[in-house]
Homo-oligomer: A and B are copies of this chain.
Amino acid sequence: MILKSQVEWALHCCAILAGLPEGRYLSTKALAELHGLPKEYLSKALQSLSQASLVETTLGPSGGYRLARAPSEVNFLEIVEAVEGKARSFTCTNIRENNPCRPAGYCDSKPCAVARIMWEADEAWRETLRRVRLSDLVGTLSEEVPPDIWRDTFEWVLKRAG
């Protein structure tokens, strides 16, 4: 069970977009360069964010992406699910139905107890991510990243933002 690297990319891109001044856009090219990522493939991750209505886009030179909502109104789970999908990590294939001691055509009233426990853990994972807002991340980063790097980065970004 491993998350796509797209998840890391999308989260970092959102953190950058969160620091973008109102009304400006940042292109795939800039985001790819800033993070050292393949532009074409990063584009797919950003498209996922767009389809999930987490970001807005505009075309042409000076086009790109910006957040569709305030960073305090976006949580981690939304970003993760946008690129990773909403499917649960555990899928029950109903192997209990293969028990030879079962009457043919017998139908279970509840999902299997094993699956319910696995789904409970899955929900705990989601709930943890749901509780973290994008603004929380930006707050932590702005404290932990050395001030000069932080400043230089957004200077770099603004130079490329349309």
**Known pairs A12-B96, A34-B99. 16 more at Cβ < 8 A?**
A2-B87, A3-B89, A5-B91, A5-B93, A7-B118, A8-B90, A12-B95, A33-B100, A35-B95, A76-B117, A101-B149, A101-B152, A117-B132, A118-B129, A121-B126, A122-B125
A-B contact pairs, 19 of them (CB 8 A): A2-B89, A5-B93, A8-B115, A9-B95, A12-B96, A15-B114, A34-B100, A36-B95, A36-B97, A36-B99, A76-B117, A89-B89, A101-B149, A101-B153, A102-B149, A113-B144, A121-B129, A124-B124, A124-B125
Tell me the A residues contacting B by CB distance below 8 Å: 1-5, 7-9, 11-12, 15, 33-37, 76, 84, 87, 89-93, 95-103, 106, 110, 113-115, 117-118, 120-122, 124-129, 132, 137, 140-141, 144, 149, 152-153, 155-156
Distance between A106 CB and nearest chain B CB, rounded to angstroms: 8
